[in-house]
Each structure stands twice: as structure tokens, then as C-alpha cells.
């Protein structure tokens, strides 16, 4: 949603993250509040791999009995400070790769790749949690961070972008027993994205070039 919207697929959020572009499951000792858990995650999780499930919901329209939603799933990998991969596998395959300089988005069905300057795209997005910030001080330059009320057996952090130029309205990060397990994003159009992460493998041992992307032969490449 707030990271990028390169394709005309309904209700598919690629930002992940795009936070992110970006929240992961990270087992930590119990803390007093969500901000303490977030601080530990930023300082200690230097790399990792996790599965995710994402549900994106649009505001309910007049006459609709319920809000429209779309569920997707895949895997997420990251290597601080500026490399990550979101690999969407269901309901259709898409790939988001940040190599440190360029952010690539690839739609396998369309055989279409879009390339953008990474530093111009990520900015005040959830991806800052995995691409730029290494502690709360760095993250606080982009977001106003506050503890939110406990709910659903989780401790929460509310992150509000300091810049009002983008579509991202707010982000909530939920911790359960010291594990950062939930990421909720709300954009200015009322669209909500909820990501649930599986256990994080911090011993992924990525090989050189793992976060590079080469468009397949015959792919339509758009550079913006």
C-alpha cells in the first residue's frame, strides 16, 4: 500500500514493505512495553528470513455487506542496512527486491519489472524498519513512536509518519512475549493491511548476490 503501487492488481499491498518493509518475528526476553521490544529488534536482528500472511482490506462501500479483502502469502528476507526481498507466492507471484540502490518490483504473470531509486522510494514507509533504522533514535527521525494499549495478547507500538507527503497514515507493530509478530498499516484512503509473520531464522547465511535482481529475458522493464 504505502510503499509502492506499481501494478493494477486490486487490493494487493506490496509494501511491505515493502516495514518493510518490514516487521519480523524475533524471539526476545519479555520487556515492559512495545517500544523496548522494538528497540531490541532494531539493534539485534541484523538479518533474517520469515514467512508471512497479509490481508489487505478496503473501506466498505455503500450497499456492501462487508469490506472487501485480499489475502496473500509468501516469504520475506532481509540484510541490514538496506537489502530485502519480499517474495509473494499466492495468489500470484510477485517479487520486491531492494539491493541497496535500486528497488525492483517484478510481476511474474505480466513478466514486467519496475525499477526505482531505493532512497527516493523508501523514506517514511514501514520499510524504514528494515532498510534504514538500527535503533529507535534513527527511526524517530522518520516516525513519532508511542506505546499503544495492549490488545489481543500483544504489546503495541504506534508509528506515525512525521512527513505528510505520502499515503501512509499510521503503522502499528504488535509484540507477543517479546516476539514482533504483527504489522498493521493504514493509508490515507482507508485501506488497511495486516501482516502476520512466522518465526524468524536469523542464521539464514545469505550468499553474495542474493539480494540482486536481473530481469528475466523478454521482460518489460520500466525505470522511474
All three cell numbers of 145, joined, read: 513512536
Q: Is 164 helix (H, G, I), strand (E, B) or coil?
A: coil
Is residue 42 over pLDDT 90? no
Q: Are strands 220-223 and 143-151 parallel, antiparallel or unpaired?
A: unpaired
Residue 171 domain flag: yes
- Model pTM greater than 0.85? no
CA angle 215, 218, 224 (to 5 degrees): 50
DSSP one-letter code for 101:
S
Residue 210: exposed, middle, or buried by beta-carbon count in 10 A (0-12, 13-18, 19+)? middle
In a domain? residue 167:
yes
Assigned domain for 9 exists: no
Cell 511474474: give the residue. 108
Would residue 28 count as lying in a domain? no
pLDDT value, residue 124: 62
Q: Is 197 contained in some domain?
A: yes
State yes or no: pLDDT of 11 exceeds 80. no
| Residue 192 domain boundaries | 34-202
Query: Cα–Cα distance between 47 and 26 in angstroms, integer?
Result: 11
Domain count, the chain: 1
Is residue 24 assigned to a domain? no
Q: How confident is the model at residue 32 (pLDDT cuts 50, 70, 90)?
A: low
CA 179 – CA 29 distance, rounded (Å):
9
165: phi then psi, degrees, rounded to nearest 5: -80, -25
Do the domain assignments include residue 1? Answer: no
Q: Is residue 78 part of a domain?
A: yes
**Are the CB atoms for 88 and 108 separated by under 8 Å?**
no
Binning pLDDT at 50, 70 and 90, where does residue 4 land? Answer: very low
The CATH number assigned to the domain holding 106 equals 2.50.20.10
pLDDT level of residue 139 (50, 70, 90 thresholds): confident
Residue 45: what pLDDT? 83
What three-state secondary structure class fits 115?
A: strand
Amino acid at each position: 500500500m504505502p510503499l509502492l503501487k506499481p501494478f493494477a492488481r486490486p487490493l494487493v499491498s506490496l509494501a511491505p514493505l515493502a516495514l518493510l518493509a518490514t516487521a519480523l518475528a524475533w524471539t526476545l526476553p519479555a520487556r515492559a512495553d512495545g517500544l523496548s521490544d522494538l528497540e531490541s529488534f532494531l539493534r539485534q536482528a541484523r538479518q533474517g528470513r520469515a514467512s508471512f500472511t497479509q490481508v489487505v482490506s478496503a473501506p466498505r462501500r455503500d450497499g456492501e455487506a462487508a469490506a472487501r479483502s485480499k489475502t496473500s502469502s509468501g516469504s520475506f528476507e532481509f540484510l541490514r542496512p538496506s537489502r530485502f526481498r519480499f517474495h509473494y507466492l499466492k495468489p500470484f507471484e510477485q517479487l520486491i527486491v531492494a539491493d541497496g540502490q535500486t528497488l525492483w518490483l517484478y510481476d511474474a504473470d505480466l513478466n514486467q519489472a519496475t525499477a526505482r531509486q531505493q532512497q527516493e522510494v523508501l523514506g517514511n514507509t514501514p520499510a524504514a524498519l528494515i532498510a534504514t533504522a538500527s535503533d529507535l533514535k534513527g527511526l524517530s527521525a522518520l516516525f513519532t513512536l508511542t506505546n499503544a494499549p495492549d490488545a489481543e495478547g500483544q504489546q503495541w507500538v504506534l508509528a506515525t509518519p512525521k512527513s505528510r507527503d505520502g499515503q501512509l497514515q499510521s503503522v502499528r507493530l504488535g509484540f507477543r512475549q517479546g516476539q514482533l509478530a504483527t504489522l498493521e498499516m493504514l493509508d490515507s484512503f482507508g485501506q488497511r493491511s495486516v501482516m502476520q509473520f512466522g518465526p524468524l531464522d536469523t542464521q539464514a547465511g545469505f550468499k553474495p548476490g542474493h539480494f540482486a535482481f536481473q530481469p528475466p529475458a523478454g521482460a518489460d522493464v520500466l525505470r522511474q
